[in-house]
A and B are shown apart, each in its own frame.
Chain A
Amino acid sequence: MDSSNDEALDIIITNVVATFRTRCHLNLRTIALEGTNVIYKPEVGKVLMKLRKPMITASIWSSGKIICTGATSEDEAKLGARRLARCLQKLGFKVRFSAFKVVNVLAVCSMPFAVNLINFTKNNRPIASYEPELHPAATYRIKNLKATIQVFSTGSLTVTGPNVQNVATAVEQVYPLLFECQKPRCK
């Protein structure tokens, strides 16, 4: 299914969330006291560590599970995660890099036309749902891809999925449906 007609649609990935495990117990206090760019939250029980090179924020738990957010691509997420593990290694923990998994990818895309949300929802019930009282966008959930697309009336889309491939496929899937319900441009 080729989505683009003349112009290619730019799908910009804005956020990639990944998790991995260090397979060893981490002493949060040590990390908090010996690291730069760390925020210690003892009530919740985690440490937030921010890296600069890939702009990444990581939540570190004492069990050794780490969630890495803020990367702009899957590779960057992995690089950032490895850097983080290296940093923890240098602090003295026997860190092992295991179970790295990209959990969530958030991407933004813009259609060159505006979309009539009411028609779009009508044609695609019950996959699509639109509640103007709650949220200005119509939500379209693709079950087999496990992706969620939020369509705004201006034609911009927000897509979330488990990996980048799914996100691209989701956009391709939804494009023809949106094209049908596009709002004819005027002025």
Chain B
Amino acid sequence: MSSRVCRTCGGSDIDVDQARGSAVCTSCGSVLEDNIIVSEVQFVEGSGGVSSAVGQFVSADGPVKAPLLGSGFHTSVGKESRAQTLQNGKRQIQQLGSQLQLNQHCLDTAFNFFKLVVSKHLTRGRKTEHVIAACLYLVCRTEGTPHMLLDLSDLLQVNVYILGKTFLLLARELCINAPAIDPCLYIPRFAHMLEFGAKTHEVSMTALRLVQRMKRDWMHTGRRPSGLCGAALLVAARMHKFRRSVKDVIGVVKVCQTTLRKRLTEFEDTPTSQLTIDEFMRVDLEQECDPPSFTAAQHKAKMQQLEQELAKKLDEVEGEISCYKDEIETELEKSRPKLRGIYAAYTKEVDPEDNAEVLSMPSEPEEVESEDVELQAATHHLTEDFLCQVIQEEEVRGMKGDPVAEPEKESMGPHRQAASLTSILGKLPSTASLSLQQTFQTSDTSESGEKDLGDHPQSEELDLEGIDDQEIDKYILNEKEVQVKTELWMKQNAEYLKEQKEKQERINKEKEEGTYKEKKKKKSKKRDQIEALTAGEAIERMLEKKKISSKINYDVLRDLNRGTGSPTRSPDHTPDTTVARKRLNRRRRRKTSDSNQDLAANTSIMGKRFRHLISSTPKKKKTAHQVERTVTVVTETETPAETESNPPLDSAAETSPTLPTAPSPMEEEEEEEEEEECVSALQLVGDYGCDADEEEIF
């Protein structure tokens, strides 16, 4: 406490009285301060007799401004939750870090990272687990510990790439440049796991040399460091006459067999592999290699080149061969005996027939009828031609003098096709074609109007330049095909369609009932149907799930419903009964009832019941009727239990005064009990639920 100087007299002897909260100058007696703010810690007694300090923790890096109530309301709430988040994060970091055997310094650094992350709002939308793992991995990288991201993902059972994504993002946002992974870091760890005994150090040294050699041979860029370590360790182990199979190594290193084998073969390709063990330990080759993927690519390129050359050569050779072939054939023909006379005529006839078959379109429409059959047979498989042929028939029947059917071979094909198109459309007047015609016209006009090839949003009409309409028509099926496809699709997706129908029906029904809620996507806790033969069984199962209380003797409850004339026993546990009565009392106020009955018998019964309930092991059997009520009653009892601030001890102390009052309410309760046993039994259970809760608190 700094001694201040009195303002009036200048004396430095000031008496501060904490009790009165005043500061007085002893020399002149002037009061310097009144109502001093005391900065002592105050304690308050909480429920259960536990005393706790008053106040909140204000963290040094919290919001600097004092939180204003009202406008800044959310900041004050947010700050509290912020503290909670940090606390939670710290706990998780400790947990995960201890599993990884990180020292406290690393964990503290990780927590600092986490604080940074939280302050930058990067935890939003990400699982805290992932963020924490990323923070820990950041620490591992900056400190250079031999932990892989794979280890973390193993612990958390999360995909390593997801963790990697989070890690990369955090590293970028926090501007932390993690140094690149050196495979040499992992060697001692893996060597230790492979159990080389006394020679572990030597083996690690050898493996390190191997890895360095691999690095110089450019085998390590773009590869997982663990794979290289695995290969190096395998070789080193063999060098020191340890038998470690590929399986052992991959179990430790966490790569697959193929990868390991590949690394070994790559190493084999380097010149270093040719050295003996001794040479390797002594000598370091100067020569470096290209990375294996590079050499592989070059190899491929070479192979392709070779193939091309070969192909060229083949062509040349083929050319020569064909030359020889022609020559031979001409020679053969010359030597062949020639047909004379009638036979010559036959050979000539072949040609015009061939031509006729080859020509799909007849040159003159007059020939159509005669060649119709031939056409059908020959061109049936060509759809366009088929269509054209159909059109031809139509034309022949209908319009003889059609100008389109001009005997022009060259323009025949496209003309026919154009004709077929329009006639097809004419034959099948569908909305598609109608709108098509319209759009044709509109698009034509728009096309002529705006020749905008740029991406201006103003021209929303489709620019048809460069679009081959006929080709596009091929993309659209005609009616028959549509039918077929519809059938197929319906068959294929029958299940889905059924589901949709059911859903629609359900929605309609609910709409009628008026209970339809848009988007019932709430995933409430699954309440699967309890199947049971009797009501009693059903309650049993429900209670198993609901876990109301383990101290209730459900047997008795069951009996309650069935038999009213159960033998009486001496009432015990008066405090409990009175407590229960007190509970009942409270609820009595809510439920109106008035009945008068014989007290003694009832109290004894009640007492017996209570004792039963308390003492025996729980058996969960109740009537279905009571089930629902139990639930509601239990929930009701929760609130009184919570609102109760006084500890049960007090209530126990109060039992004596309440005892005289107890009988009267008891009467009412008993009556109700007798009249509506279900309800009172429920109350009992409910009460007992409270009671049990209290006991549990103890």
Question: Across the interface, do A53 and B471 meet the contact criterion of CB distance under 8 Å?
Answer: yes
Shortest B425–chain A CB gap in Å is 11
Q: In the complex, what's the smallest C-beta–C-beta distance from A160 to chain B, in angstroms?
A: 16
The CA of A40 and the CA of B492, in the complex, are separated in Å by 11
Contact partners of A98 in chain B: CB under 8 A: 457, 460
From residue B454, how far is it (CB to closest CB) to chain A in Å?
Answer: 10
B299: Cβ under 8 A from any A Cβ: no
The verdict on A134 contacting B164 (CB below 8 Å), with A42-B493, A154-B291, A186-B288 known, is yes
Determine if A176 is an interface residue (Cβ-Cβ < 8 Å): no
B496: interface (CB < 8 Å):
yes
| A157 interface contact, C-beta 8 A | no
User: How many angstroms from the CA of A165 to the CA of B545 in the assembled complex?
Assistant: 64
B224 contacts partner chain A, Cβ-Cβ < 8 Å: yes
Q: Is B477 a contact partner of A153 (Cβ separation < 8 A)?
A: no
Q: Is B289 a contact of A187 with CB atoms below 8 Å?
A: yes
The yes or no answer to B698 lying at the interface (CB within 8 A) is no
Chain B positions within 8 Å of A100 at CB level: 455
Are B177 and A185 neighbours in the complex by a CB distance under 8 Å?
Answer: no
A106 interfacial by beta-carbon distance below 8 Å: no
Task: Say how far B255's CB is from chain A's closest CB, in angstroms.
Answer: 11
Expressed in whole angstroms, the Cα–Cα distance for A82 and B443 within the complex equals: 13
The answer to whether B221 touches A117 (Cβ under 8 A) is yes
CB of B177 within 8 A of CB of A125, answer yes
Interface string of A121-143 (1 = CB under 8 A from B): 11001100111111011000000
From residue B225, how far is it (CB to closest CB) to chain A in Å? 6
* With A34-B482, A99-B457 as contacts: A82 and B462 at CB distance below 8 Å: yes
* A133-B475 in contact (CB<8A): no
Complex CA–CA separation, A35 to B432 (angstroms)? 13
Minimal beta-carbon separation of B239 from chain A (angstroms): 26
Q: At the interface with chain B, which of A7-15, A65-73, A88-96, A167-175?
A: A88-96
B168, B218, B431, B460 — which one has the most chain A CB atoms within 10 A of its CB? B460
A114, A121, A152, A153: which contacts B180 (Cβ < 8 A)?
A: A121
Distance in angstroms between the alpha carbons of A117 and B181 in the assembled complex: 12
Segment 50-66 of A: residues with Cβ below 8 Å from B: 51, 53
The residue that A82 contacts in the complex, of B431, B467, B473, B474, with Cβ under 8 A, is B467
One digit per residue, 1 when the CB lies within 8 angstroms of any chain A CB and 0 when it does not, for chain B 149-176 equals: 1100000000011001001100110010
Q: Is B461 among interface residues, defined by CB-CB distance under 8 A?
A: yes
Q: Which residues of A contact B496 (CB under 8 A)?
A: 42-43
Closest to B218 in A: A183
- Please judge, given known A-B contacts A89-B439, A101-B455, whether A133 and B148 are in contact too, CB under 8 Å: yes
Taken together as a complex, chains A and B put the C-alpha atoms of A90 and B461 apart, in Å, by 14
Chain A residue nearest to B464 (CB atoms) is: A86
Bound-state CA distance A29–B165 (Å) is 38
Task: Give the chain A neighbours of B472 by CB distance below 8 A.
Answer: 83, 86-87, 90
Given the complex, which residues of B lie within 8 Å of A122, measured CB to CB? 180
Complex Cα–Cα for A134 and B163 (A): 10
Chain B 261-300 interface mask (CB, 8 Å, partner A; 1/0) = 0000000000000000000000000011111011001000
Q: Interface extent on B, as a size class? A: 35 or more
Residues of chain A at interface, number, CB under 8 A: 54
Bound-complex Cα distance A23 to B458 (A)? 13
Q: Which of B180, B221, B471 has the most CB of A within 10 A?
A: B221
Q: Smallest CB–CB gap between B253 and chain A, Å?
A: 13
Distance to closest chain B CB from A171 (angstroms): 19
A126 adjacent to B172 (CB under 8 Å):
yes
From 600 to 641 in chain B, residues with beta carbon under 8 angstroms from any chain A beta carbon are none
* Chain B residues, CB < 8 A from A145: none
Q: Within 8 Å CB of A91, what residues of B?
A: 432, 476
A-B contact count (CB 8 A): 141
Residues in A with CB closer than 8 Å to B181 are: 132-133
Which residue in chain A gives the minimum CB-CB distance to B220? A132
Contact pick for B223, options A32, A132, A183, CB 8 Å = A132
Query: Are B486 and A97 touching (Cβ within 8 A)?
Result: no
Tell me whether B436 is interfacial, beta carbon within 8 Å.
yes
A177 within 8 A of B: no
* Contact yes or no, A32 B489, CB < 8 A: yes
Bound together, the chains give a CA A122 to CA B287 distance in angstroms of 25
A174 and B463 alpha carbons, distance in the complex (Å): 39
> B171 to nearest A CB, angstroms?
7
Asked if A36 is an interface residue, CB under 8 A from chain B, the answer is yes
- Contact partner of A154 (CB less than 8 A), chosen from B171, B294, B462, is B294
Docked complex Cα distance between A129 and B168 (Å): 8
Counting chain A CB atoms within 10 Å of each CB, the highest count among B223, B226, B431, B472 belongs to B472
Option from B175, B223, B475 in Cβ contact (under 8 Å) with A51: B475
A89–B222 CB distance below 8 A? no
Query: Smallest CB-CB separation from A42: which chain B residue?
Result: B496
Instruction: Flag whether A33 is at the interface (Cβ < 8 A).
Output: yes
Q: Is B485 an interface residue, CB under 8 A from the partner?
A: yes
From known contacts A101-B455, A132-B224, A134-B164, infer whether A90 and B432 are also in contact, taking CB-CB under 8 Å.
Answer: yes
Task: From known contacts A100-B455, A133-B149, infer whether A92 and B485 are also in contact, taking CB-CB under 8 Å.
Answer: no
A118 to B460, CA, bound (A): 51
A186 touches B221 (CB 8 A): no
| Contacting residue for A118 out of B168, B180, B435, CB 8 A | B180
Bound-state Cα–Cα, A133 to B227, Å: 10
**Interface check A116, CB cutoff 8 A:** yes
Q: A83's closest neighbor in chain B, by CB? A: B467
CA A100 – CA B59 in complex, angstroms? 53
B327 CB–A CB distance under 8 Å:
no
Residues of A within 8 A of B468 (CB): 53
A153 → chain B closest CB, angstroms: 4
The answer for the CA separation of A42 and B291 in the assembled complex, in Å, is 48
A117: nearest residue on chain B (CB-CB)?
B221
Q: Which of B216-266 contact A (CB under 8 A)?
A: 218, 220-226
Residues in B514-535 with C-beta less than 8 Å from chain A: none
Cα A129 to Cα B169 with chains together (Å): 11
Closest to B473 in A: A90
Closest A-B pairs by Cβ, 3 of them:
A136-B222, A153-B221, A96-B460
Can you show 17 pairs from A to B with CB atoms below 8 A apart?
A83-B472, A86-B467, A89-B436, A96-B461, A97-B461, A99-B457, A126-B171, A131-B164, A132-B220, A133-B164, A133-B226, A134-B161, A137-B222, A152-B293, A154-B291, A186-B288, A186-B290
Known: A32-B489, A134-B149. 7 other contacts (CB 8 A): A79-B466, A90-B436, A94-B435, A116-B221, A126-B172, A132-B222, A133-B225
